[in-house]
Amino acid sequence: MSLRSPAVWIVFLFVTVFAVPGHAADFVDSAERYVVLPDRIGRVMAADQSAAVLVFVLAPEKLVGWSRPLTREQRAYLPAKFAQLPVAGQLIGPTPTVAADAVARLRPDLIIETGVVSAEAAARADAIQRQTRVPYILLDGGIQQIPDTLATVGAMLGVAERGQDLAHSARGQIDDLRGKLLITESTERPLVYYGRGADGLETGLARSQVMAAIDQAGVINVAARLGTGELTRVTHEQIFQWNPAFIIAEQRSFYSALQRDRTWRGLAAVTSKRVYLAPAEPFGWIDDPTGVNRIIGLPWLSALFYPEVYQTDLRATVRDFYDKFYRIKLSDRQLEALVRPAGAPTGETGQMLGVPILGAEPVPLPGGGPPNTPGLRPPGRGGTPGLPGYPPPNPQ
């Protein structure tokens, strides 16, 4: 049986049937691992920050700590009680910050990991569970699985009603986006580059977790043609070759450079002022982490890329999301700090920059560079379908 099978439905059935207070529960996680849960779950350790956000939005009083430190800006967007939670460290990732033998000091009843489900991840979960003697569940972190995960973990943690409420909200955002894309011309999708890191030269490959929210918005990730996987480094010259219609910066340093540094002048996105800063407080709207926090990114990105179709009051949507999921009522100043650099619509409708997917020009040969040099791609034009990692026009 594949690790990508709909194990989340099995998870849901096990929890709803067996998760009765005072009784141990049998649980099958997304990796099809059989895990016996304790009869009472009072303290939960998150293996990574995306799992920490999941536990926080459901039952923050049960979270033993954040997986990595929060910035002062992040803490300002969280209820004070939970903004001051200690740093428990992360068990997974390229640089884990807490060893399995240190978990005992935190006294968790359960460890939760959300992310890419694979044989390697399942083996790691088994190893950590053996070493810590704490039940460890692995859940599919895909954006489409978020509603089911909220309902499942909510029932597991004794907050089933809240889990169902948040699941309903998340499913509504996903379904609303899918429905609107059905009436959007499928032969045209704008080219988008998402620049991570201080210099903006790190980005996500095809079908990567970090690009899931952007992929859901039905646009073309210019770096998808480089293949599948998670993250990759690109060059200044490659970005000029792709000449995206939109650029989204993860960090303010890259966002500022795009606006002020002469070396970026001439890019279609820069010339047309379609450069945006992804909101990051308290958690990223696109990734960082790749968790529940991405749900608010869906209405933002859809309004950004398709303003003629998505006539949404983004400010009201953001207020509602932060109140419901993060339990914080945004001040006007906080709200504007989030949405202004993100290009929140102000009522005007702009012209969508589209790119015909079928019959598009092939990718130019190396040699593209800044404006007025051979090989620069026309604004917003796409590559050739069939290239490695080239995504389908509609979201999966």
HEC per residue, 279-291: CCCCCCCCCCCCC
DSSP 58-108: H-GGGB--BSSPPPHHHHHTS-HHHHT--B---SSSSS--S-GGGGGGG--
pLDDT at 222: 96
Q: What is the pLDDT of residues 115-130, one digit of tens each?
A: 999 999 999 999 999 9
Q: Which of 196, 214, 379, 243 lies closest to 305, judged by CA?
A: 214
Crossing angle of the two packed helices 7-18 and 146-156, in degrees rounded to 10: 20
- In b/e form, how buried is each residue of 129-150, taking b as 16+ CB within 10 angstroms? beebebbbbbbbbbbebbbbbb
pLDDT at 100: 82
pLDDT at 346: 53
- CA 204 to CA 196: how far, in whole Å? 8
Would you say domain 185-396 falls under CATH 3.40.50.1980? yes
Question: CA angle at residue 384 from 202 to 301, to 5 degrees?
Answer: 50
- CA 152 to CA 154: how far, in whole Å? 5
Tell me, which fold does domain 7-172 have in CATH?
Rossmann fold (3.40.50)
pLDDT at 388: 32
pLDDT at 309: 75
Residue ranges in the chain whose pLDDT is less than 50: 1-22, 347-396
Burial of 24 from C-beta contacts in 10 A (0-12 / 13-18 / 19+) = middle
- List every span in the chain annotated with CATH 3.40.50.1980: 7-172, 185-396
- CA 362 to CA 390: how far, in whole Å? 12
pLDDT at 24: 55
pLDDT at 306: 85
Given a contact cutoff of 8 angstroms between Cβ atoms, the answer to whether 375 and 366 are in contact is yes
* pTM (two decimals): 0.82
- Please give the span between the terminal C-alpha atoms of the chain, in angstroms, as a whole number: 21
Q: What is the pLDDT of residues 311-354, one digit of tens each?
A: 778 999 999 999 999 999 999 999 999 999 998 755 433 333 33
- CA 377 to CA 359: how far, in whole Å? 15
State the number of CA atoms in the 13 A half-sphere of 180 facing the CB: 22
pLDDT at 289: 96
